[in-house]
Amino acid sequence: MFNKTIYKIAAFLLFFPFQMMAAVDSDFLRSTGKIYSVVVVIAILFIGIVISLVRLERRIKEMEKSDINE
């Protein structure tokens, strides 16, 4: 579907910080061990908002295409 380069760029961006994490102590993870759950939760919320926007966009496109005035 999309070009492979987009997947490569996304994978690089997503996996880049994990290489840094390997060098960091577990002491820091005590404060950020739970940060992953926070990140996942906020990412889910954001993706939910994006999905609702995409559905809204599709419905508006349908309305624009139909000849009935809304």
Partner 1 sequence: MDILKNHWYKILAVLLILYVLIVGMITPLKTGITNVAPDRFMAGQGLKISVTGYNSHYQSSDDYQAWIKFDSTHHVAANNMQVIDENHIEFTFGIPDDLPFDSDYGYASLILNSEMDGPSVLPDKLYFEKSTSKASGFNWSKEAIKLDPSDKGFKFPYRNILNETIRNTFFHVAIWFAMFFLMILSLIHSIFYLSNNKFVQDIKASSYADIAIIFGLIGLATGSVWAKYTWGTWWTADVKLNMTAIAMLIYCAYWVLRGSIPDVDNKARISAVYNIFAFAMLIPLIFVIPRMTDSLHPGNGGNPALGGEDLDNRLRAIFYPAIIGYSMLGYWIASLNIRVKKLRDKLFL
Q: Does 27 bind partner 1 (CB under 8 A)?
A: yes
Q: Does 52 bind partner 1 (CB under 8 A)?
A: no
Binding residue for partner 1 (CB under 8 A) from 11, 33, 34, 36? 36
The string of DSSP codes covering 13-69 is HHHHHHHHHHTS-HHHHHHHTTHHHHHHHHHHHHHHHHHHHHHHHHHHHHHHHSSS-
Q: Does 42 bind partner 1 (CB under 8 A)?
A: yes
- Applying CB under 8 A, the site for partner 1 has a residue count of 32
Q: Does 44 bind partner 1 (CB under 8 A)?
A: no
